[in-house]
C-alpha cells in the first residue's frame, strides 16, 4: 500500500526507536525525534494511518505501537541504504579452506553468524545422501564396515561409515567408485540410488552389490536435511532476570528443531531474505521471536537454508545483510559449476 513521504519518515523513526529501546513506541517518543518538523497531532494521525495499513500494531490499548513484519520488510528494502550498513567481512571461501570437513564447516558458519549477530545462527544443510558430489570413494575399514567419502563442488569433504552384512573386497569397492564417478558425477547419492533401481536389470550384478553396500544406511536415515546452530548462550546473556518465560520458549524452539527444519524446508523464499515474526513452529506460536531466513544453492538438485533466530528486537539491517551475504557466499562455494 502506498505511503506518503511523511509516513515513510515516521515509520523509519518508529522502527529505529524500537530497535534502540525494545519497547512499544509512542507518538511522544517520535515527536521528540522530530520536534521541529511534525506536530504531535500529525504524528498521532500518521501512526494511526500506518496501523490501518498494516505497518504498525498496538499490543495493548494503552501502549505505543511496534512494527509488523510488513513494516520491517518495507524498511529494509525502501528506507535504508544497504551500502552504508557495516557488517563484518565473511570470507567463507577462506573458511572452507580451513575446514575441509563439511560438518566442521557448517558448524563454523553457524558460529560466525552467532558471533556477529549476537543471536542464534543456524544452517539447514542437505544430508550426506542429498549432497552433490564431484568425487566419491568407498573404502573398507574393517569387517562389515565401509566408509563413503564424497567431495563437494566447493572442495569440502563429507564422510559416513556404513555397516554391511556382505564381505566385500577393496577391489570391488574401487570398481564401484570408478563406476559412480564415471556415470553420476555432479549428482547426489540419493539420485544414484533411484537410478540404480531403474537400471538394476541391465547391470544387475554391479548395481545390486552397490545397493547392498548402502541399504542399511539408506533405510535408517531420517531426513534430507541436517540442522546446525550456535549462539543460544549469546541470546540468554542479553535477557533480564524476569525473562524466564522467553528463555523457556527459546529452549522449546531448540528442542523442536526438527519442526523448525520442516517449517523452513517447506517455505520457499520469494525474497533475498524472508522475515518471520512470531513464527509458527509445529502447533506453537513464539510471540517474542523473529526469524531471518534465506536459501542457498547446493548444486543443481538441492537448496539449503541459512538464517538467524533472535528476539523480536534486533538490529534488523545488520541481521538482514548478514543472512543475505552468507547465503550468497555459500551458493558461490557449494553451487559452483561442475
Question: What's the CATH code of the domain at 286?
Answer: 3.30.450.40
Mark whether 120 and 240 lie in a shared domain. Answer: yes
With contact defined as beta carbons under 8 Å apart, do 38 and 7 qualify?
Answer: no
pLDDT at 10: 93
Q: Which of 1, 20, 63, 13 is nearest to 43 (CA)?
A: 13
Judge if 136 and 51 occupy the same domain: no
Domain boundary residue, one of 220, 240, 262: 220
Confidence at residue 96, expressed as pLDDT on a 0 to 100 scale: 54
pLDDT of residue 329: 85
Assign residue 191 the CATH number of its domain: 3.30.390
Q: Which of 195, 220, 245 is the last residue of a domain?
A: 220
Mean pLDDT of 80-109: 73
Q: Which three cell numbers stand for residue 267?
A: 517455505
Q: Which residue has the higher pLDDT, 338 or 220?
A: 220
Q: Is residue 232 domain-shared with residue 119, that is, in the same domain?
A: yes
Residues 41 and 96 in one domain: no
Same-domain check for residues 191 and 161: yes
Identify whether residues 140 and 121 lie together within a single domain: no
Q: How many domains does the chain have?
A: 3
| End-to-end CA, the chain | 44
SS3 readout for 105-169: HHHHHHHHHHHHHCCEEEEEEECHHHCECCEEEEEEEECCEEEEEEECCCCCEEEEEEECCCCCC
- 115-157 tens-digit pLDDT: 888 888 889 888 888 888 999 999 998 888 888 999 988 788 9
Question: The domain that contains 46 carries what CATH number?
Answer: 1.10.10.10
pLDDT of residue 300: 65
Statement: residue 13 has pLDDT above 90: yes
- 20 and 152 part of one domain: no
Chain centre to alpha carbon of residue 326: 9
Q: Cell triple for residue 186? A: 555432479
Same-domain check for residues 120 and 190: no
Residue 103 has pLDDT above 50, yes or no: yes
Q: Place 335 in a pLDDT band, splitting at 50, 70 and 90.
A: low
Listed range (207-211, 236-240, 245-249) with the worst mean pLDDT: 207-211
Mean pLDDT across the chain: 79
> Picking from 29-33, 226-230, 243-247, which range would have the lowest pLDDT averaged per residue?
243-247
The rounded percent of the chain whose pLDDT value lies above 90 is 15
Q: Where are the beta strands (DSSP E) in the chain?
A: 56-57, 66-67, 120-126, 135-142, 145-151, 157-163, 225-230, 274-277, 280-281, 284-285, 289-298, 302-311
Query: Do 287 and 196 share a structural domain?
Result: no
Most confident of 141-145, 178-182, 192-196, 269-273: 178-182
The residue among 191, 220, 249 that closes a domain is 220
Same domain, 76 and 103: no
Say yes or no to pLDDT of 221 above 70. no
My answer on whether 247 and 181 are in the same domain is: no
Residue 47 phi, psi (nearest 5): -65, -35
Whether residue 327 sits in one domain with residue 197 = no
**Which range has highest mean pLDDT (151-155, 290-294, 311-315)?**
290-294
Residue 107: domain span: 88-126+225-334
Amino acid at each position: 500500500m502506498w505511503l506518503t513521504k511523511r509516513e515513510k519518515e515516521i515509520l523509519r523513526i518508529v522502527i529505529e526507536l524500537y530497535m534502540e529501546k525494545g519497547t512499544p513506541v509512542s507518538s511522544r517518543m517520535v515527536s521528540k525525534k522530530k520536534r521541529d518538523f511534525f506536530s504531535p497531532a500529525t504524528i498521532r494521525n500518521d501512526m494511526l494511518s500506518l496501523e490501518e495499513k498494516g505497518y504498525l500494531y498496538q499490543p495493548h490499548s494503552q501502549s505505543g505501537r511496534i512494527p509488523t513484519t510488513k513494516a520491517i520488510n518495507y524498511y529494509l528494502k525502501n528506507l535504508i541504504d544497504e551500502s552504508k550498513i557495516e557488517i563484518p567481512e565473511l570470507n567463507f571461501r577462506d573458511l572452507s579452506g580451513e575446514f575441509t570437513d563439511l560438518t566442521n564447516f557448517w558448524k563454523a558458519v553457524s558460529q560466525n553468524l552467532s558471533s556477529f549477530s549476537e543471536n542464534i545462527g543456524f544452517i539447514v544443510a542437505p544430508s550426506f545422501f542429498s549432497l552433490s558430489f564431484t568425487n566419491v570413494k568407498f573404502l573398507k575399514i574393517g569387517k562389515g564396515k565401509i566408509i563413503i567419502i564424497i567431495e563437494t563442488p566447493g572442495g569440502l569433504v563429507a564422510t559416513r561409515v556404513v555397516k554391511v552384512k556382505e564381505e566385500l573386497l577393496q577391489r570391488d569397492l574401487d570398481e564401484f567408485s570408478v563406476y559412480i564417478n564415471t556415470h553420476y558425477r555432479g549428482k547426489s547419492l540419493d539420485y544414484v540410488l533411484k537410478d540404480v533401481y531403474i537400471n538394476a536389470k541391465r547391470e544387475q550384478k554391479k548395481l545390486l552389490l552397490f545397493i547392498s553396500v548402502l541399504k542399511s544406511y539408506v533405510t535408517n536415515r531420517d531426513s534430507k536435511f541436517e540442522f546446525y546452530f550456535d549462539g543460544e548462550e549469546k541470546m540468554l546473556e542479553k535477557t533480564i532476570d524476569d525473562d524466564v518465560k522467553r528463555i523457556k520458549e527459546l529452549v522449546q524452539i531448540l528442542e523442536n528443531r526438527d519442526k523448525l527444519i520442516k517449517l523452513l524446508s517447506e517455505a520457499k523464499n520469494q525474497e533475498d531474505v524472508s522475515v518471520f515474526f512470531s513464527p509458527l513452529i509445529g502447533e506453537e506460536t513464539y510471540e517474542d521471536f523473529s526469524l531471518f531466513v534465506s536459501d542457498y544453492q547446493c548444486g543443481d538438485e538441492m537448496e539449503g537454508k541459512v538464517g538467524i533466530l533472535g528476539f523480536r528486537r534486533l538490529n534488523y539491517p545488520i541481521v538482514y545483510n548478514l543472512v543475505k551475504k552468507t547465503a550468497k557466499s555459500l551458493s558461490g562455494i557449494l553451487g559452483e559449476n561442475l
